[in-house]
A = this chain, B = another copy of it.
Amino acid sequence: MSVRLDELDRKILVQLQQDGGRSLDEIAKAVGSSKTPVWNRIRKMREGGVIKQQTYVLDADSLGFEACFFVLIRTSEHDADWQARFLKALRDRPEVQEAHRLAGDIDYILKVRVENARAYDVFYQALISEVKVHNVTALLSMEEIKSTTMLPL
């Protein structure tokens, strides 16, 4: 399923990342090509999984999600069954925007977006009642300095 990308493909991806609302014509002009090649390349990159999805990014604060926590988790359990249940719990909870398994003495990191500190506590109590974890540290974000999904192409 691997797609070989050339300079034109990369230029197209830069355009799509920057502003997903531009028309084919605008993109074609910006990358110095014309509609058909641009369209064919976008289709191929979609099919090859290079382009995963098209979305709208919303402003968390205006929608009342005013609290963002990074959660560092250490666990003593490492068996397959525990891990499967833990992963499912994370995937099922919409408050969890990011979850990564880590190398080193911290086992997992989460990014959790909630209305307020109380909503975080509800989330936290629900999570630890579902799966046993050894140690949890929550880091509260005071200010979002930067947030992007753009890759540095």
Q: How far, in angstroms, from A105 to B52 measured CA to CA in the complex? A: 37
| Chain B contacts for A51, CB-based, 8 A | 56-59
Q: How far, in angstroms, from A83 to B149 measured CA to CA in the complex? A: 24
A125 within 8 A of B: no
Query: Nearest-CB distance from A22 to chain B (Å)?
Result: 9
| Chain B contacts for A49, CB-based, 8 A | 59, 62
| Chain B contacts for A54, CB-based, 8 A | 19-21, 54-57
- Could you tell me if B53 and A20 are in contact, using CB atoms closer than 8 angstroms? yes
Tell me which residues from 47 to 86 in chain A have a Cβ below 8 Å from any Cβ of chain B: 48-60, 62-63, 65, 68, 70
How many copies of this kind of chain does the complex include? 2
| Chain B contacts for A13, CB-based, 8 A | 56, 58, 63
A122 within 8 A of B: no
Query: Known: A63-B50, A100-B143, A141-B101. Contact between A55 and B58, CB under 8 A?
Result: no
Interface string of A117-153 (1 = CB under 8 A from B): 0000000000000000000000111111111111111
A–B Cβ pairs within 8 angstroms, 11 of them? A16-B56, A17-B58, A50-B59, A54-B56, A55-B55, A63-B153, A91-B146, A98-B111, A98-B147, A98-B148, A99-B146
- A residues adjacent to B (C-beta < 8 A): 2-3, 5, 13, 16-21, 48-60, 62-63, 65, 68, 70, 87, 90-91, 94-104, 106, 108-109, 111, 113, 139-153
